[in-house]
Structure 1
């Protein structure tokens, strides 16, 4: 009786001590000295995705606060991004040809990158940007496509840029 009680207490103590010690403790052997290695874990970044064109999707990365448009063809006018948080950067990927009207007007954004497949930027597409570069492939920019933009660099000509563009 005494022996089984002793074994029970010993088992319970061993279990308690095992659970109290961190379960993962990687070790590094360097020049014969064993030392602990610091382990850092991060939560996976949260992405929100949706459609913004017949063949275009948006993806928002909460960790980097980047809104990326990918796919092919034209973006729809006035896509609703109501579930997104603050956006620091917009990236228009290869394959997108038209940036829709009011596409990004709800956001105050640091910068936007436009791929060289874009040919048209519709009215009120961007509001409150710090900077943007318009690639030479862009042939048409509609009225007020850029509102309150700090720096606009145009790589091509401005022959088909409308008033306030």
Structure 2
């Protein structure tokens, strides 16, 4: 096993655990904060990709794999945004949130959201293994994982923003 595989495995375990907990628990919805994480992850991923020594060896196959995985990532993020449940934030929820930023709603996707997240990770690993076996230079890179995670969170945040806009316009 090489170091890259160990780093990727660690990132996957941390991402699944962190995102899994976030899917199952009610959390205050703060749109400004929701955009921060994907922007930071995407920037780190892009900088890592640009500084990668493999960048000069990118093929059309690599680009195809990247585009395919981004489409899947955006679709899963959108689905998570659609399946999220919203409720007015409770006094207990406000007390548990250290800094709710004036949030009035909280959300979670529950076990179905967690299952979708795990399915996404399993699919990502399958694509990674298959693309690597076919000669992809960047499919298994840490940069790709960060870019795909950022794309997923951007799609989820965009759907959340649209849904919350509709909810607040009808007075919920």
Fold conserved between structures, TM > 0.5 = no
> Highest CA radius of gyration, 1 or 2?
1
Structure with higher strand content? 1
Q: TM-score, normalising length from structure 1?
A: 0.22
Q: TM-score, normalising length from structure 2?
A: 0.21
Higher relative contact order (CA closer than 8 Å, sequence separation 6+): 2
